[in-house]
Every structure is written in C-alpha cells, then in structure tokens.
Amino acid sequence: MVNLIIDNRSVTVEDGTTILDAARKINIKIPTLCYLDLGKLKMLNKVSSCRICSVEVEGRRNLAPSCSTPVTEGMKVKTNSKRVLFARRKILELLLSNHPFDCLLCSKSTDCELQSLAVEFGIETQHYHGEKSSFPIDISSRALRRDPEKCIMCRRCETMCNEVQTVKALTAFGRGFNTVVAPAEMQPLVNSNCVYCGQCVSVCPTGALTGVGYIKETWAALFDPTKTVVVQVAPAIRAAIGEEFGIAEGVPVTGKLAAGLRRLGFNAVFDTTFGADLTIMEEAREIVERVTKNKNLPILTSCCPGWINFLEFHFPDLKYMPSTSKSPHQMMGTVIKTFYARKLGVQPSDVVVVSVMPCIAKKYEAAQPEHETGGVRDVDYVITTRELAKMFKEGGIDLRYMDDEDFDDPLGESTGAGVIFGATGGVLEAALRTVYEEVTGKTLDNVNFEAIRGLNGVKEAAIDLNGRIVRVAAASGLGNVRQILEKIQEGSSQYDVIEIMACPGGCVNGGGQPFCEDREERIEKRMKALYSIDSNAEIRKSHENPSIKKLYAEFFGEPGSEKAHELLHTEYWM
C-alpha cells in the first residue's frame, strides 16, 4: 500500500494505482477527456494525449497526467492550483481552436464531452485563431459517419477498435498538425475492414464518429399518404430508451414505447421479438440437424451483423459455420413485405419498414443487396435508440406520460425467449429451450440457463440431449470472439454451438444505445430488465408462440421449408 496526500487530504491506495484513481477514491474530481475505463468490458484508454487531467506534483517541474502517473510513497499532489487550472483552460482553448463551432447542428450536442468541459470551465470566447485541420466527412458505409475535423486525437476509438474489438480498422494517420485517427491511408470506411459494430461511436467524446442518421427519411415516409409505414422495435430498446426521458435505468418501457410509436403516426407497430422467435424456429432446426449429423460443428449464431462482418473480413474460411438464418429484424422485414403486405392488399413497394435498433451495424446490413425480396429492400430505414428518442422529443412525446399499449397483431405476439435476445447469451438460451424439447420430446420445466448469462466475455455450459452432451458457449466482444474462432481454426475448440455478439454485453450495449458514463453498471441493469420481462412472460419458449405457429401454418409450412429458405435465410459472400 502507498500513502500520499492529495489537496491536503491523506489517502492510502494499492501500489500501481494512478493519481486519478487515488483522487476518485476520496471523491476529488479531476476532469478527463481521453481517459476511459469500462471495467469488466476490458476497455482502458490512458494514452495521456489530451492532458486535461494534469496535476501538480511536489518536487516535479512539469505537470503530470494523473490518468497515467502512478502514485509513490509520500507523494503530495495539487489538483486545483492556479498553475493546474491555467494549464487545463489553455489545453481546452487550444483544442477548441481546431474544432468546428457547429454545436447546434452536431448530433452529439449535449452529449459531447468537449462541449461539457468548455461549459464547466466557463469558456465563452475563442482566444486562439489560426488555420484549422480540414478533412472530408465520410458516410461511404451508409452506417457509420466519420467527421475527422471533430477528432481531438483522444484515441479512445483506436483503443476500442484495435485492443478490445481487435478489428484494427482505425489508426493514427499523418504527422503534426494534420494527425488524425482514420482507416489506413485515409481510405473511406467502406474500403476498410470496419465491421460497423459502432463501439467506436459509443466511446467517442465528440461528434467525430456517429451513426448515419435516417430521421429525415423516416419523417418523410410518415408524411407520405401513399405509403404504409410499419415500425419494428428490437428487444434491447425497451430496456434503454427510458434513460433519455429521465426514467430510472433498468426500467423496461415496452408498453409506453408502443404507445409513443403510434403517436408518431406509424400505421403498424410490431415487436422484433416476434422476429426473434421466428429466428429460433429456423436456427434451432439447423442446430438439431447439425448436432444430430455431427456435421459442420460448431454451429455459430447469425443474428448479429457486426459479428458476421467480422467473420467475412477476418475468418472467411469459416463462412460455412454460421447459421444461414437472417437476423430477426431482417426476417421481420421480409415477413412484413410479403405475408403482411398480402393481408393488407398492398404492394411490397408501397410498404416502408423502419427498424429501431440498438445497433449501427444493422444500418449497414439493411442496405446490403442480399437483403432484398423481389427487388424490394426488406428493411428501408434503420434508426437507433438515440434517433428514436430525438423523434419522440421532436414530436412532443414524453415516454414518462404514455399509457401502456400492446403491439399490433398478427406480428406483435412474442415470448420471453425473444426478449432476451438483447443480452449476451440470450439467443443461445432461447435456442436451447426449443432444441431441448424438440430432441428429447420432454418438457423443459426450468428454462433458465444461468451459466450463459452475465457480462463475462465467454460463458459456457453443457446440456444433455438424450445422452448426447452438447457443449455450448456465448461470446461477446470481438476480441473474445477472435480467440474462439482461432481455436476453431486450430481444431482445439470443443464446442457444438456458439452464440456470438459483436458488442461486449450484447445488444444492450450496442453502438446506438443512449450514451452513459457508468457503462458497466448501466449494461447490467439493462440486462436485468430483459430477464425480468422473460421471467414474467406467460410464454417463454419460441415454439409455443401461437402467432408463430399460425404464420407457419398459413405461409411457411414448416421450419426449413423451401419458402422459409427463400425468405428467411441468406448466404455469406466473402
């Protein structure tokens, strides 16, 4: 243990602790910008590039960055001396001198950490003037928007992309005044190996990285009398969007969400958990078939487009392993444009499907040519949780004061199994509930698979299917996924079924979810919200959903049928 004094207060911490963490232990606030610690999510950025956290250490000539300076015995630190405050203000003013002043038009406004610090330090005038860095905005991917002029070189995105997700799409490029974090050789994102997981967006303190927005397009569709505009909402949305309206973290707002969407003017409001149940019907059939034949194992889940992009870019030799089932929202889009459009008596081209997703990769997925039926896109626009919250506020809708309403039929009824898709391990757990009963012919009384729940990067379990022990795992965060896929390549993996999610923690931590500082705690609360909905659900197994049964009876025939393959399955191209 090490003893030191910070602002005339004594504190004892473990050897190796930084000054920043020691100060936080005694509730002394030191401002940060480039620093970020996400705890269990294993994201730690302390490159000391911004120096906003600089402090004065007795006996040292230069100010020290508190985020990366370890404590020493007897150290005396001042965090708010005249010298420290003057240096921080100058650093902020220099950062602002090379930053666009378009706060009113920036999608990160009010969520921007640079903006917040400028307010806290009372910076009201621009003291430094001169040349500014100039780079073009990149929206080539139709999913992720990169505005290098707003980059402050904190390098959080680089740490997230390279060390946590191991995608390695971003790097520091250039030298001196024109240094910026970008894809190699400043290539457009669409020409890089970016998988659009959006985790870079979730840690960017400014508006340098955001999702490509589709709010204007959605409003235009809603106001077009020639279009039937249908919305679907992913499971993770109900566990997070309330945060944007002052509702306590971890409080699900399912009914309020459905009511709010109707007030916006959507012609039909559906729940993507129905699509999740449909996914289980198709994916469970594949699992049973492969496990029974002991062929092409392990089978990998295919609900997450970010992870599928990762597979296609980094492990193309394993492209035969994932389930060919489309993701739930793409299945829903297909069913809406075919089955539902036919029931309404309208042409698929006159139906606009809007998906509300916690994910930026869904934007990229929906734009791909393989996700079209008869030349018509399955999903027209994908908006994130944050975008929907902005639409609600623009439309004068406050979720706190919405009465609960149900989703529409015939695609609104869903199960608890579909809801837990939003948390890491949820897809696998939902699949096992159906697989067990299909293989054994027995009723699964305890449907909770606790071993594959939680924030750990890799969780595993074993299930007995009539004497065949099936080993399963759930992995979230692409760094963890890489380790598993490398074991598969080596032939050392012993798993039969693996669920994979690109974002650490699953969809509840998607790149389109509300921004928050207490990330780890917030994600756990969102997870608990989904599991509480599941535990209280009347039906907790996808194959018991009456509306799913009716859909197969009227339209698809059975899971894996020719029509099901045509509309609900896809291929991997690379």
Contacts 24+ apart (CB under 8 A), 136-142: 138/188, 138/189, 139/212, 140/188, 140/189, 140/190, 140/191, 141/188, 141/189, 141/190, 141/194, 141/196, 141/212, 141/364, 142/212, 142/363, 142/364, 142/367
Q: Are 334 and 326 in contact (CB under 8 A)?
A: yes
Catalytic residue among 157, 507, 520, 541: 507
List Cα–Cα distances, 549 to 171, 505, 553, 562, in angstroms. 49, 31, 6, 17
**CA dihedral of 113, 118, 119, 120, whole degrees rounded to 10:** 90
Catalytic residue among 113, 282, 286, 520: 286
- Angle subtended by helix axes 254-264 and 385-394, to nearest 10: 60
Is residue 349 among the annotated active site residues? no
Is residue 370 among the annotated active site residues? yes
Catalytic residue among 362, 363, 459, 525: 362
List Cα–Cα distances, 241 to 174, 421, 488, 530, in angstroms. 39, 17, 37, 13
> How is residue 527 written in tokens?
């997870």
Catalytic residue among 113, 283, 520, 524: 283
List Cα–Cα distances, 456 to 42, 298, 528, 535, in angstroms. 10, 20, 15, 21
Catalytic residue among 113, 149, 365, 524: 365
Is residue 283 among the annotated active site residues? yes
List the strands of the sheet with 497-501, edge to edge: 299-300, 497-501, 468-476, 458-465
Closest CA to 317 of 569, 496, 490: 490
Is residue 286 among the annotated active site residues? yes
CA–CA separation, 402 vs 298, rounded Å?
45
Q: Helix count (H) and strand count (E) of the chain? A: 19, 21
Catalytic residue among 14, 58, 289, 370: 370
Is residue 507 among the annotated active site residues? yes
Catalytic residue among 34, 303, 304, 503: 303
Is residue 394 among the annotated active site residues? no
Instruction: Give the residue numbers marked as catalytic.
Output: 283, 286, 303, 323, 362, 365, 370, 507
